Amino acid sequence: MKESYLKRYPLSHFVIAVVIILSLAPIPEMPRLANINLLDKWTHFIMYGGLCLVIWWEYWRQHRQINWQHITVGAILLPIILGILMELGQTYLTTCRTGDWLDAVANAIGVALGAVVGYFILPRICKG
């Protein structure tokens, strides 16, 4: 019998849980960092790019060749969908957060860059 995704990709699931919590939890008031333009967008870009890289890293640790259907869905489409759902969740499920479509775009760009790094760079690291 095949091992469950939860057991095969524990770090990915942990990062997904952290992303969901960070996306829906109240944010304490923080002083604005005036010298960093679009800090919020950079945060989304890094968070979702990191999620994508973790998924790719765990994938490369277990597979020698890419199953494009699995990696496209699991490491690219699902993180992008998660980003959109989190923005909708901020709008409709919380009273302390607001959704922003530009955040969803930053999430998707992070996933795209994470996928490029995951495809071209991680195999060299994971396989020696």
Give the number of other Cβ atoms within 10 Å of residue 101's Cβ: 9
What percent of the chain has a predicted confidence (pLDDT) above 90? Answer: 67
Check residue 93 and give its pLDDT. Answer: 94
Report helix, strand or coil for 126.
Answer: helix
pLDDT beyond 70 at 43: yes
% of the chain exceeding 70 in pLDDT: 91
Non-local (6+) Cβ contacts of 100 within 8 A are 40, 87, 90
Rounded Cα–Cα distance for residues 99 and 103 (Å)? 8
Instruction: State residue 87's pLDDT score.
Output: 96
* pTM, to two decimals: 0.89
Among 2-11, 13-22, 33-42, 90-99, the range scoring the smallest mean pLDDT is 33-42
Task: List b or e across 41-56, with b for residues whose CB sees 16 or more CB atoms inside 10 angstroms.
Answer: beebbebbbbbbbbbb
| Local confidence band at 34 (pLDDT 50, 70, 90 cut-offs) | low
Give the mean pLDDT of the chain: 90
